[in-house]
Amino acid sequence: MQDFAEIIVIDDFSTDGTAEIAKKFNAKIFEVPWQGYAKQKQAGIDRAAQPWVLVLDSDERVTEALGKDIAAAVSGAEYRGYYIPRKNFFLGKWIRYGGWWPDYTLRLFRKDSAHMEQREVHEKIVVNGDTSRLKNPMEHFTYRTISDYVKKMDNYSTLAARELKGKGVSFKPWHLFLKPPATFLRMLLLQQGFRDGFYGLILAMLYSFYTFLKYLKLREMQKNT
Residue 2 has pLDDT above 60, yes or no: no
| pLDDT level of residue 4 (50, 70, 90 thresholds) | confident
Which helix (H) or strand (E) segment holds residue 61: the answer is strand 60-61
Cα–Cα distance for residue pair 199/90, rounded to 1 Å: 8
pLDDT tens for residues 59-88?
999 999 999 999 999 987 789 999 999 999
User: What dihedral do alpha carbons 31, 13, 22, 156 form, nearest 10°?
Assistant: -100
| Cα angle: 200, vertex 207, 216; to 5 degrees | 160
Whether 203 contacts 90, CB under 8 Å? yes
Cα–Cα distance for residue pair 110/126, rounded to 1 Å: 11
Residue 3 has pLDDT above 90, yes or no: no
Alpha-carbon separation of residue 134 from 15, 36, 41 (angstroms): 35, 28, 21
62, amino acid identity: V
**Topology at the third CATH level for domain 8-142:** Spore Coat Polysaccharide Biosynthesis Protein SpsA; Chain A (3.90.550)
Residue 1 has pLDDT above 50, yes or no: no
Cα–Cα distance for residue pair 40/34, rounded to 1 Å: 7
Domain boundaries, the chain: 8-142, 145-224
pLDDT tens for residues 175-208?
999 999 999 999 999 999 999 999 999 999 999 9
The end-to-end CA distance of the chain, in Å, is 47
Q: In what order do the strands lie in the sheet with 81-84?
A: 52-54, 105-110, 81-84, 131-133
Residue 62's CB is within 10 A of a number of other CB atoms, namely: 20
